[in-house]
Chain A
Amino acid sequence: MKKTYYIYRFITSLIVLSLFSCQLAEDLDDYEPLNALDANKAIVDESTSELALAGVYAGFHQQNGGSGIPEIYTIPSLMSGTLVNTFLFNNDEVQGYVNNNPLAVNTSQGLGAYTRMYDIINRANWLIEKATALTDDKFPTAGRRLEIIAETKMLRATANFYLLRLWGQFYDLDSQYGISIRMEPSRSGEALPRSTVMETYEAILGDLDYAIENAPAIRPKYYTNLVYAKGLKSKILLYQGKYMEAAVLAKEVMETSGADFSLTPTYGEIFLDHSTPDLFDSDEIVFGTKGDPIAGVGIGNVIGTIFAVSPSYISSVLETTTVGGQVISHDGTRVSTTIKEGFFGFDSLKSNFNFLPPENKYEMVYHLRMAEIYLIYAEAHARSVEFVSPDALNALNAIRTRAGATTTGGDGFETYPSTISLAQFLEAVRIEKRVELGIETGEDWFDLVRYHFVDGMDITTVKATADNPDKYILPIDYIAIEAGKNIVEQNPNY
Chain B
Amino acid sequence: MEIKLSRVHFYRGKNMLDVIMRTFLFFFCSSVFGLTSGTIFSQKTTIEIESDKTISIDEVFDIIKQQTDFNFIYRSDMFKDYPKVSVKKGTIKANKLLEKSLSAGNFLIKISEDNTILISEDTHSSDYQELKIKGQVKDVNDVPLPGITVYVTSAKPTGEKLEQEFLLGATASDIDGNFSLGAKPGDYLVATGMGYLISVQVIVENKEQYHIVLKENVSTLDEVVVVGYGTTRRKDLTGSVGSLKSQDIVQINSQTIDQALVGKLSGVHVSAQSGAPGSGAIVHVRGLSQLIGDNQPLYVVDGVPIVINPQFGSGLGLNDNRQNPLLTINPADIERVDVLKDASSAAIYGSRAANGVILITTKRGKRNQVPRFNFSYNATMQNPTNTFDVLDAAGFKKFMVEQGLEDEVVFGNADTDWQEEVTNNNALWRQYSMGISGGSETVNYLVSGHVSDQEGLMVGNKFNRYTFSASLDANFTKRLRLGSSISYNYSDNKQSELNSLSTGAFYRPDLAVFNGDGTYTSMNFSGIDFRNPLGDEGKVRNKAISQNLLGTAYGEYQLIDGLRFKSQLSLNINNDQRDVFHPSYTRRGLANGALLLVQHSSGLSTSWSNTLNYSRTFADAHTIDALVGISWDHSKLNLDSQQYVGFPDDEILTDINSAQSVFDVASEATQTALNSLFGRLNYNFKDRYLATFTARYDGSIKFGPNNRRGFFPSAALAWNVHNENFLNNNDFISQLKLRASLGRTGSDNLPAFSYLVNYKSLSGTDSYYDGINGIAVDGVPNLDIRWEQTDQLDLGLELGLFNGRFNAQVVYFKKETSDIILLVPVASQTGYSSWNANIADVSNKGWELEFGADVIRSKHFRWNSAFNISFIENNVDALNNGATTNFGSTGIMEGQPIGVITGYDVKSIAQSQEEIDALNNSAPSGTYYSGLTQPGDYVYKDINGDNEITTEDIAPLGDINPNYYGGWNNSISYKNFDFSFNFNFVQGNKRNWYRGATEFLSASTTSNVTTEVYNTWTPDNTGAKYARIGSATHGNSTTTSKNVKAGDYIKFRSASLAYNFPKEWLTNTGIGNVKLTLSGNNLITFSKYPGIDPESVESQRGGSTVELTRDTGVSYPQARTFTIGLNLSL
Contacts and interface: CB of A to CB of B under 8 A. Distances in A.
Interface in A114-137: 114-115, 118-123, 126
A123 B828 contact: no
Contact of A483 (B606, B671, B772, B826): B826
Contacts of B636: 34
B777 A61 contact: no
A61 B769 contact: yes
Contacts of A111: 828, 833
Contacts of B771: 292, 294
Interface stretch (A168-176, A187-195, A248-256, A328-336): A187-195
A180 B827 CA distance: 11
A55 B767 contact: yes
Interface stretch (B359-367, B399-407, B729-737, B755-763): B755-763
B675, B753, B759, B763 pick with most chain A CB within 10 angstroms: B759
B829 A488 contact: yes
B80 interface: no
Contact of A182 (B668, B778, B829): B829
Contact of A190 (B608, B669, B827, B831): B827
A274 interface: no
B1025 interface: no
A42 interface: yes
- Could you say which of B557, B569, B780 has the most chain A C-beta atoms within 10 Å of its C-beta? B780
A39 interface: yes
A223 B671 CA distance: 38
B780 A189 contact: yes
B443 to A, nearest CB: 22
A21 interface: no
Contact of A28 (B708, B758, B773): B708
B759 A52 contact: yes
A120 B767 CA distance: 11
Given A28-B701, A34-B670, A51-B772, A185 B777 contact: yes
A37 B764 contact: no
B98 interface: no
A63 interface: yes
A126 B827 contact: no
A51 B833 contact: no
A34 B668 CA distance: 9
Interface in A198-221: 220
Q: Which of B634, B669, B752, B757 has the most chain A CB within a 10 Å cutoff?
A: B757
A410 B824 CA distance: 63
A31 B673 contact: yes
Contacts of B773: 51, 54
Interface string B609-624: 0100000000000000
Contact of B767 (A54, A485, A488): A54
B632 interface: yes
A48 interface: yes
Interface string B767-787: 111111111111011110000
Contacts, number: 212
Interface in B933-977: none
Contact of A26 (B634, B772, B781): B634
Contacts of A455: none
* Max chain A Cβ within 10 angstroms of own Cβ: one of B567, B670, B758, B824: B758
A477 B828 contact: yes
A35 B767 CA distance: 15
B978 to A, nearest CB: 45
A121 B831 contact: yes
A268 interface: no
Q: Give the one of A34, A118, A482 with max B CB within 10 A.
A: A34
A480 B758 contact: no
Interface string B552-585: 0000010000000101010000000000000000
Given A115-B832, A482-B825, A52 B671 contact: no
Given A37-B759, A57-B770, A190-B827, A27 B675 contact: yes
Contact of A36 (B767, B770, B778): B778
Contact of A58 (B569, B760, B769, B831): B769
B928 to A, nearest CB: 20
A482 B826 CA distance: 8
A255 to B, nearest CB: 30
B770 A222 contact: yes
Contact of A187 (B632, B759, B781): B781
Contacts of A56: 774, 776
A328 B914 CA distance: 60
A189 B764 contact: no
B930 interface: no
B488 interface: no
Interface string A317-341: 0000000000000000000000000
Given A39-B759, A180-B829, A186 B780 contact: yes
Nearest to B671: A34
Contacts of B881: 479
A409 interface: no
Nearest to A479: B825
- Residue of B699, B777, B780 most packed against chain A (CB within 10 A): B777
B766 interface: yes
B858 interface: no
Contacts of A294: 765, 768, 771
Of listed B638, B763, B774, residue having the most chain A CB within 10 A? B774
B769 A189 contact: no
Interface in A439-467: none
Given A37-B760, A42-B759, A51 B673 contact: no
A373 B560 CA distance: 89
Contact of B770 (A120, A292, A482, A485): A292
Interface in A129-159: none
A276 to B, nearest CB: 15
B830 interface: yes
A420 interface: no
A24 interface: yes
A322 to B, nearest CB: 47
Nearest to B886: A66
A222 B772 CA distance: 13
A357 interface: no
Contacts of A83: none
Given A33-B758, A39-B759, A39-B777, A118 B632 contact: no
A329 B521 CA distance: 67
B831 A115 contact: yes
B769 A65 contact: no
Nearest to B675: A28
A36 B760 contact: yes
B246 to A, nearest CB: 31
A381 to B, nearest CB: 36
B835 interface: yes
Contacts of A52: 759, 774-776
A383 interface: no
Contacts of B546: none
A63 B771 CA distance: 16
Interface in B2-58: none
A64 B831 contact: no
Contacts of B758: 33, 36-39, 42
A427 interface: no
Contacts of A188: 780-783
A112 B758 CA distance: 22
Contacts of B753: 31, 33, 36
Contacts of A428: none
A295 interface: yes
A483 B770 contact: no
7 contacts: A24-B569, A28-B675, A28-B701, A188-B780, A189-B835, A294-B771, A485-B827
Interface of B: 557, 565, 567, 569, 606, 608, 610, 632, 634, 636, 638, 667-671, 673, 675, 699-701, 708, 752-753, 756-760, 762-778, 780-783, 824-833, 835, 881, 886
Q: Give 8 closest A-B pairs by Cβ, nearest first.
A: A54-B774, A484-B827, A64-B764, A55-B776, A42-B759, A191-B827, A122-B831, A36-B758
